[in-house]
Structure formats: structure tokens, C-alpha cells
Amino acid sequence: MAVRRRNKISFPVMLLVAVGVAFILIRFASLQMQLGREENELAQIQEKVKAQTVENKELERLIAMGDDEEYQKRIAMEQLNFAYSDEKIYIDISGN
């Protein structure tokens, strides 16, 4: 009966494998954290795009209304405090 010898892996090879595995795990964790940050940044940018799209649609609507004479009159009266020459304006000073 022959006795089989166990193949022993040398200590430097085991150390090299352990260092390699540790490096791979650390790199993987680092990439996962970076991916999380990038996904968060992407979500923030997408929210900004949505908000800007809504604002753009509102501005386009206002531009389209700019040709409307009634709209121009209302803006002149409300924002620029314009009035017709024969119009009397009363200001409520009671605060109500």
C-alpha cells in the first residue's frame, strides 16, 4: 500500500492569493460605493430635468399667450400698475 503525499501549497503562494482576494473585495466595495453615488447624482439630475421641462412648458404657454391682447392688458394692469385714462383705481388700505 502506497502512502500518498499531500500537495502542500507554499506560504508565499497562499499569501499572494489572500492579498489578491482582499484587493478584489476592496475594489468591488469601492466600485459599489461609487455606483451608489453616481445613481444618486443621476436621480438628482433627472429631477432637475423634470422641473426644467415643466418650467419650459409654462414659459412656452406664456409666450403663446403673449399675442393675446387681453393677456397683455391684464399683465399691464396687474404687474405694471397701468390703468386706462378714464379708469379710477381704489386701493383697499384696510388690509383685508
Give residue-wise pLDDT tens across range 9-28. Answer: 788 899 999 999 999 999 99
pLDDT at 1 over 60: no
End-to-end alpha carbon distance in the chain: 110
pLDDT of residue 6: 65
66: which residues sit within 8 A by CB, 6+ positions away? Answer: 72
**What span, in angstroms and rounded, lies between the C-alpha atoms of 8 and 13?**
10
Q: Which DSSP symbol is given to 66? A: T
Domain ranges of the chain: 13-78
| pLDDT, tens digit, 9 for 90 and up, residues 23-72 | 999 999 999 999 999 999 999 999 999 999 999 998 888 888 767 777 77
Q: Which of 27 and 78 is assigned the larger pLDDT?
A: 27
pLDDT at 83 over 60: yes
Distance set, CA 67 to CA 20, 57, 71, 72 (Å): 70, 17, 8, 8
Could you tell me the pTM of the whole model?
Answer: 0.51
The three cell numbers locating residue 94? 384696510
- Backbone φ and ψ of 84, nearest 5°: -70, 155
Q: Which DSSP symbol is given to 53? A: H
